[in-house]
């Protein structure tokens, strides 16, 4: 049974007063109980460090918009209407903490579709869940290799989402280091593929043909099945100066003491150069550290940060 927006607003307010913060889990769980809300989500998945999950939300009654309302007349509100007869609800993101319930606890990002095929960006002011449309949510959890994480939304008997991000080691996958240079290591995920090799043994036997009173040669084929295995490896990223540069939703290439990464879905991952219109990042390894460059709108490489030497390098 769905709840009214006033009931959901009261629940969120009680959570805020009781704990001092409303998490993404609290928010989603409350919104999913509103009239006309439905959702589908990805089930268990395997990942190494950066794990993805997707939730598609459809709303047939309410439009829900998100923004920060600090220093406004709505700053003490969490879920509210601006116009009494409106079917648009507003969420004050100032009262929402970017926390998804996970076990064990890991950081999780909430992304929404951006311009360009396959592009995603963080939620920003003015984003809405529109009526009669599929509103897409992408969650990216940042775990340590070897961990299996449960992420969940649970509210009463109606909302029960609790898939797993399962570590790739559960697939009997081995992470191997391939040395590129003294500072750059390629990380490969390898596993054994088992298959049957089929061969035939040919024997020729002489058999007496009683009708024709003569010997004839008959070929007999024996099918031989031999179980074999081979190792299959997939590049999952790079390690630069002991810092992980793991590709998620990217394809990465080593280029003369640099690593070039291109966003999948809007790039050609069969070549190691950045074409016009592709979303690219370049990590240049120098004596001073690793510098990250991005392509601007004029297709010129530029850096926003002097050095990543003291930070964990990761794709944004």
Residue 106: pLDDT band by 50, 70, 90 thresholds?
confident
Higher pLDDT: 80 or 257? It is 80
The yes-or-no verdict on residue 214 having pLDDT over 50 is yes
| Percentage of the chain modeled with pLDDT above 90 | 18
The yes-or-no verdict on residue 133 having pLDDT over 80 is yes
The yes-or-no verdict on residue 166 having pLDDT over 70 is yes
The most confident of 97-106, 138-147, 249-258, 271-280, by mean pLDDT: 138-147
Condensed to tens digits (0 to 9), the pLDDT of residues 266-302 reads 677 778 878 777 778 788 777 667 777 776 555 666 6
pLDDT at 297: 55
Pick from 82-86, 96-100, 295-299: least confident: 295-299
What is the average per-residue pLDDT within 237-244? 71
Pick from 33-47, 58-72, 120-134: least confident: 33-47
The yes-or-no verdict on residue 203 having pLDDT over 80 is yes
DSSP the chain: --B-HHHHHHHHHHHHHHHS-EEHHHHHHHHTTBTTEEEEE---EEESSEEEEEEEEEESS-EEEEE--TTSTTTT-SEE-SSTT-SEEEEEGGGEE---EEES--EEEEEEE-SSTT-EEE--TT-EE-BTSEEEEEEEEE--TT--EEEEEEETTTEEE--EEEEGGGGT-EEEEEESSSSEEEEEEEEEEEEEEEEEEEEEEEEEETTTTEEEEEEEEEEEEEEEEEEEEEEEEEEETTEEEE-SSEEEEE-SSEEEEEETTSS-TTSSS--TT--EEEEEE-SS-EEEEEE-TTS-EEES-S--TTS-----
Condensed to tens digits (0 to 9), the pLDDT of residues 135-164 reads 999 888 888 878 899 887 665 555 567 788
The yes-or-no verdict on residue 10 having pLDDT over 80 is yes
Q: What is the pTM of this model?
A: 0.57
């Amino acid at each position: 049974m769905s709840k009214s927006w006033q009931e959901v607003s009261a629940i969120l307010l009680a959570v805020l007063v009781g704990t001092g913060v409303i998490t993404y889990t609290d928010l989603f769980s409350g919104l999913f109980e509103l009239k006309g809300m439905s959702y589908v989500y990805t089930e268990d998945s395997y990942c190494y460090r950066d794990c993805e999950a997707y939730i598609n939300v459809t709303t047939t009654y309410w439009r829900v918009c998100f923004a920060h309302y600090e220093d406004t007349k709505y700053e003490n509100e969490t879920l509210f209407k601006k116009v009494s007869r409106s079917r648009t609800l507003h969420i004050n993101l100032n009262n929402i903490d970017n926390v998804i319930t996970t076990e064990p606890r890991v950081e999780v990002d909430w992304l929404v579709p951006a311009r360009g095929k396959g592009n995603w960006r963080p939620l920003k002011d003015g984003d809405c869940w529109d009526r009669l449309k599929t509103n897409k949510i992408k969650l990216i959890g940042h775990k340590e290799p070897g961990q299996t994480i449960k992420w969940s939304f649970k509210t009463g008997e109606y909302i029960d989402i609790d898939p797993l991000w399962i570590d790739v080691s559960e697939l009997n996958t081995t992470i191997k280091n391939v040395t590129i240079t003294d500072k750059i290591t390629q990380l490969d995920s390898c596993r054994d593929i088992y298959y049957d090799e089929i061969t035939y043994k040919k024997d020729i036997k002489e058999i007496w043909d009683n009708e024709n009173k003569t010997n004839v040669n008959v070929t007999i084929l024996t099918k031989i099945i031999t179980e074999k295995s081979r190792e299959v490896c997939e590049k999952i990223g790079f390690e630069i100066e002991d810092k992980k540069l793991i590709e998620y939703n990217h394809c990465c290439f080593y280029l003369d003491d640099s690593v070039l990464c291109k966003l999948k879905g809007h790039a050609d991952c069969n070549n190691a150069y950045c074409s016009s219109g592709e979303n690219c990042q370049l990590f240049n390894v120098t004596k001073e550290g690793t510098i990250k460059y991005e392509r601007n709108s004029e297709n010129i490489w530029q850096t926003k940060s002097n050095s990543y030497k003291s930070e964990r390098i990761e794709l944004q």
